[in-house]
Amino acid sequence: MSIARDVTFCVKTIARPWSCARLVRSIHAHLDGAKIIVADDGPKAHRFSEKYPQDAARCQEVINIDTVDVGVGAGRNAAVDAVETELFFLFDDDHVVTESLDMPLLMQRFQGSDIDILSVRQNKGGKPYMLTPIMDGQRIWVHRGERRRQGPLAWCDMGSNAFLARAETITQGNRWDDAIKTFEHWEFFYRASRLNGLKVCVATDCSVKHRHVKGPKKIYQPFRDRPQFRSLGLKKHGFRSMRGSKGGIFHA
């Protein structure tokens, strides 16, 4: 398999065009011939293709979604729907690629295993996590843990938002929920691992840089600070609360 022929890199972005441009440049700097699809649902004045047309022109496709704020889930679904290769690799728009990603190694491991979703680390985060129902199924507990380990590969319930998968794995049964615009991460992986039986794994020796960009405060931050979408995910699966990885309790 080759990067240029067999994998597409997917990015969902909103109101952080500079951050998205930085990611696109880093992909091209480290991955020759990379195909990139960007899905952008930000306000027109803050769109990636408006602010950085030269970087946008280096992408295979930039999907400027007509509706502002369709959400993370719908945006990622739109990007993956446009993939024509067997595999795709998902990024957040504030990731940066370095030599630590090692895509050839990831692709080799992926093809020779039972793995459905192969995540990588991001800075000190992106470790293997489990999603365990507790309190007679009323609470979901997000905690460090692994199902099994083989060298640097750790099978678990949840990895990072930087991962390799087959496009059909997502499009034919494990799409993001369009209704959950943010706080979607645990819900996507809960369905993937716990409900749909997908094999989730973290390659603990591969990573991307996570260099958070807040974006324009009055434009970007309102798209993030919406805990009602975490509540929506909890209610969807019949949980009354969540115990987060740092011990906090969040109620539906």
pLDDT in tens, the chain (252 residues): 899 999 999 999 999 999 999 999 999 999 999 999 999 999 999 999 999 999 999 999 999 999 999 999 999 999 999 999 999 999 999 999 999 999 999 999 999 899 999 999 999 889 999 999 999 999 999 999 999 999 999 999 999 999 999 999 999 999 999 999 999 999 999 999 999 999 999 999 999 999 987 766 677 777 777 889 999 999 999 999 999 999 999 999
Distance CA 132, CA 5 (A): 38
Q: Are 16 and 213 in contact (CB under 8 A)?
A: yes
Tabulate helix, strand, coil % of the chain (nearest 5).
Answer: 35, 30, 40
Please answer whether residues 150 and 132 qualify as being in contact, where contact means their C-beta atoms are separated by less than 8 angstroms: no
In contact, 98 and 209? CB cutoff 8 Å: yes
Q: Cβ distance 132 to 213 under 8 Å?
A: no
User: Which CATH class for the 3-251 domain?
Assistant: alpha beta
Which pLDDT does position 223 carry in this prediction?
78
CB 103 within 8 A of CB 89: yes
Type of residue at 126: G
The one-letter code for the residue type at 117 is: I
The pLDDT assigned to 74 comes to 98
Polymer length of the chain: 252
Q: What is the CB neighbour count within 10 angstroms for residue 225?
A: 7
Instruction: Return the number of other C-beta atoms located less than 10 Å from residue 32's C-beta.
Output: 9
Query: What does pTM read for this prediction?
Result: 0.96
DSSP state of 125: B
Unique residue bearing structure tokens 């050839």: 104
Taking the mean position of all CA atoms in its chain, how far away is CA 28? 19
Per-residue pLDDT at 108: 96
Res 52: pLDDT:
98
